[in-house]
Amino acid sequence: MNAALEQSYLKNPKGLTSWLFTRDHKRIGLMYLYAIMFFFFLGGVFALLIRLELLSPGKTIMSADQYNQAFTLHGAIMIFLFIIPAIPAALGNFILPLLIGARDVAFPKLNLASFYIYVAGALFAIYSIITGAVDTGWTFYTPYSTESTTSVISMTFAVFILGFSSIFTGLNFIVTIHKLRAPGLTWFKQPLFVWGLYATAIIQVLATPVLSITLVLLILERVFGIGIFDPAMGGDPVLYQHFFWFYSHPAVYIMILPGMGIISETITVFSRKKIFGYNAIAFSSLAIAFVSFLVWGHHMFTSGQSEIAAMIFSFLTFLVGIPSGIKTFNWLATLYKGQISFEAPMIYTLSFLFLFTIGGLTGIFLGALALNVHLHDTYFVVAHFHYVMMGGTVMAFLAGLHYWWPKIFGRLYNETAAKIGAILVFVGFNMTFFSQFILGSQGMPRRYYNYLDQFQPLHAFSSFGSFVLGIGFFVMLVYLVHSLFKGKTPGYNPWGGLTLEWTVPSPPPPHNFDKIPEITHGPYDYDKILVKRN
C-alpha cells in the first residue's frame, strides 16, 4: 500500500458515517460519480432494449406500450439522472476546488444536501418505474401527459426534486468561483473548465426554476384539473411546450458547456500547447449561456406558432451556433505545432472533435426553417442530439473521467485496454447514429414502435452498431474496475498538467492543500514551463 492512498481523502476519516455525513467535496463528488454511473448503465440497458426491438419491424421483444415506456425511461434517466449532473456534480465537484486552489466549495453542507436531494429524486424515479413506468416521452407533452394512465406524477415529481439538486450545485459553484480562488488566480488565469462550470451554473440557477414551476402545473393539472394546458377546459397545450423548452433548451447547454471546458483542459495537456484564443473560448461560454435563453421556440417550428416568431427563433438559433464554431476552430488551432501524445483521454478528446463537429453542423439543417419542417420529429433529430449529447458531452465526460481517474482513485488503468474501449465506442457510436441521419431525412418519424419495410436495412445496421457500442462500454467497465484493485500507482502528475490539481498527491489529502498555493503562471503556460510527468 502506498502512502498517498493511506493519507488520502479516501481513507481519512474512516467508517461509513464519515462518508454519509461528509462535507468533503471530493467524497461528495465520488458518491455522485457512483450514482450517475449506475444510472448511465440503467439508461444504457433501456437503449439496448430499444435497439433490439427495432432490429426488425413488428414485434421483436416487447409490446408497443412497453416500447413507449422504454424510450421514455431511456430519455428521462439519461437526461435528468445522468447527463445533467454528470460533469458538474460528479467531476466538477471533485475538481473545481482543486483547480482554483481551495480546500472545499463555498457551502459544503449545501453540497451534501444537493447530493441527498439528488438521491431522493432518484428514488422517486425508481418508484415511478416500478409502479407503472411513464410512457409520455421525456418531454411530458400535454395533453398526452394529462391523459396517460401511467405514473406521470411520480416521474415529474422526481424531476422536480432533481431540479433543486441542480440549482444548489449551481449556486454553490457560482459563489465558490467568485470567493474562493487562490491568491493570484485572476479571472483570466482560470482554467477554462472553471469558465465552463461558471457559465453552466448561471443557467442552472436561472432556468431550472421554470421547469420546476411547469412540472408543478402539470401535476396540478392531473390531480385537480385546473385546465391551464388541457384544451378540453380551455387550456393551451402549446403553452406547456413553451414553458418546457424555456428550461430544456438552455439545459442542453447545461449538458454541453462543462464538456467543452474539459476538452479545453485535455487538448492542451496532451498537445503540450498553450490554448489557442483563451479569451474567445471563455467569452463564447458566456455568450452561449446568454443566447441559449432565447432560442427555445426552435423546438416548435411545426406547432403552428406565428411565422414572425419562427423567423426570430431561427435567427437566434443560428446566432448561438457561432460561439460553438469558434471554440471548435480554437481547439483545432491548439493542435498546431503541438507535441501530441495519444493516451486514452486524448483519444476521447479527438473523438469529441470529430463527433461534435457533425452534431453542430447538423444543427444548421435543423435551424433552417424550411428544412426543419421536413426533419422535425424524425430520426434526423434523434441522430443530431445524440451526436451533440453523446458524441459531445459523453465523450468529454469520458475524456475527463480518464484524465482525472488517477487523481480521484490513485490508480492507473490499463492504457491498451482503454484505447481498445475508446475505439469500439467511437466505431459503435458512428454506426448506431450516422445511419439515423439517413433514416430521418428519408422520412422515418421518431418514437415509432413499428416501421415500414423500406427502413429496415438502416434500422438493423443501427442496432448492430449499438451492440458494438455496448461491448465498448463493457470493456471500459472491466478495465476501470480492475484498476481500482490492481492498477499501478501514479505520481502527482501522470500527464504533465500545469493546473493545481496536479500539484497535490494522487489521491489528494482530505484538506487538498497543506498551504493555499499562490498562482504565478497561467493554466496552459507550456511556452514557459517544461513539465515532467511522474
Partner 1 sequence: MTPDTTGTLFLPPQSSTLAGEVDALFNFVLYVSIVFFLIIVLGSAYFALRYRKRRTEQLDTAPSHSAALELAWTIIPVILVFTTFFWGFKVYLKMHIVPKDAIEVKVTAQKWFWSFDYTKENVNSVNELVVPVNKPVQLTMSSTDVIHSFYVPGFRIKMDVLPNRYTVTWFEASNPGSYDLFCSEYCGSGHSEMIGKVRAVSDRDYKEWLDSVGLGGEEIPLIELGAKAYSAKACNTCHSIDGRPGIGPSFKGHFGSQQKMADGTTVTVDENYVRESILNPNAKVVQGYQSVMPSYQGLLKGREIDALIEYIKSLQE
Binding to partner 1 in span 484-523, by CB under 8 A: 496
* Secondary structure (3-state) at 230: coil
Place of cell 428550461: 247
Euclidean distance between CA atoms 166 and 92, whole angstroms = 12
Cβ proximity to partner 1, 322 vs 516, nearer residue:
322
Range 290-294 contact pairs with CB under 8 angstroms and sequence separation of 24 or more: 291/316, 291/319, 291/320, 291/323, 292/203, 292/249, 292/250, 292/252, 292/253, 292/320, 293/203, 293/206, 293/207, 293/246, 293/250
Nearest to 223 by CA among 287, 285, 163, 152: 152
Q: Which of 147, 186, 457, 491 binds partner 1 (CB under 8 A)?
A: 147
Q: Which part of the chain contacts partner 1 (CB under 8 A), choosing from 94-102, 111-119, 147-155, 479-487?
A: 147-155
Residues 432-461 contacting partner 1, CB under 8 A = 437-438, 441-443, 445-452
- Of the candidate residues 48, 239, 353, 412, the single one contacting partner 1 (CB under 8 A): 353
Task: Enter the DSSP assignment of 182.
Answer: P
Q: Which one of 274, 419, 420, 461 is in contact with partner 1 (CB under 8 A)?
A: 274
Tell me how far, at minimum, the Cβ of 260 lies from partner 1, in Å: 15
Query: Which residue, 3 or 370, is less far from partner 1 as judged by CB?
Result: 370
Q: Which three cell numbers stand for residue 257?
A: 458547456
**Quick one: 339 or 520, whose CB is closer to partner 1?**
339
Q: Three-state DSSP class for 138? A: coil
Q: CB of 317: closest distance to partner 1 in angstroms?
A: 8
Nearer of residues 8 and 324 to partner 1, judged by Cβ: 324
Q: 325 or 509: whose CB is closer to partner 1? A: 325
Rounded CA gap, 439 and 446, in Å?
10
**Count of residues that interact with partner 1, criterion CB under 8 A:** 93
Terminal CA-CA length for the chain: 18
Position 527 contacts partner 1 (CB under 8 A): yes
Quick note: the x/- pattern for partner 1 over 368-397, rule CB under 8 A, is xxxxxxx-xxx-------------------
Residues 35-94 that bind partner 1 (CB under 8 A): 64-65, 68
Give the total residue count for the chain: 534
- 315 touching partner 1, by CB under 8 A: yes
CB of 197 to partner 1, least distance (A): 22
From candidates 169, 172, 328, 430, binder to partner 1 by CB under 8 A: 328
Q: Least separation, in Å, of the C-beta of 203 and partner 1?
A: 23
183, 188, 309, 337: which one binds partner 1 (CB under 8 A):
337
DSSP string, 503-521: GS-SSPPTTS-SSPPPP-S
CB of 227 to partner 1, least distance (A): 12
Binding mask 280-299 toward partner 1 (x if CB under 8 A, else -) reads: x-------------------
**Residues of this chain, 166-225, that bind partner 1 according to CB under 8 A:** none
CB of 283 to partner 1, least distance (A): 11
Among 132, 325, 509, 517, binds partner 1 (CB under 8 A): 325
Site for partner 1 (CB under 8 A): which residue of 354, 464, 467, 513?
Answer: 354
* Spatial distance between the Cα atoms of 53 and 62, rounded to a whole number of angstroms: 7
The type of residue at 234 is G
d(CA 381, CA 388) in angstroms, rounded, equals 11
List the beta bridge partners of residue 445: 378
**Nearest of 380, 487, 353, 477 to residue 424 by alpha carbon:** 477
Least distance between partner 1 and beta carbon 175 (Å) = 31
Grid cell listed for 398: 469520458
The SS3 of residue 299 is: helix
The Cα–Cα gap between 143 and 232 comes to: 9
Do the Cβ atoms of 506 and 483 come closer than 8 Å?
no
Q: Which is nearer to partner 1, 114 or 328 (CB)?
A: 328
Q: Is 518 exposed, middle or buried (0-12, 13-18, 19+ CB in 10 A)?
A: exposed
Binding-site member from 277, 427, 478, 492 for partner 1 (CB under 8 A): 277
Distance between CA 271 and CA 359 in Å, rounded?
24
Exactly one of 107, 127, 144, 467 binds partner 1 (CB under 8 A); that residue is 144
Q: Between residues 237 and 509, which has the closer beta carbon with respect to partner 1?
A: 237
What letter would DSSP give residue 464?
H
As measured in angstroms, the least distance from the Cβ of 62 to partner 1 is: 12
Grid cell locating 324: 460553438
Among residues 15 and 304, whose Cβ is nearest to partner 1?
A: 304
With 0-12 CB in 10 A as exposed, 13-18 as middle and 19+ as buried, what is 457? exposed
| Residue 378 or 493 having the CB closest to partner 1 | 378
Q: Is 411 within 8 Å of 449 (Cβ atoms)? A: no
Minimum Å gap between C-beta 293 and partner 1 is 19
Instruction: Please identify which residue in 231, 416, 491, 518 interacts with partner 1, judged by CB under 8 A.
Output: 231
Residue whose C-alpha is closest to residue 325's, from 365, 292, 279, 280? 280
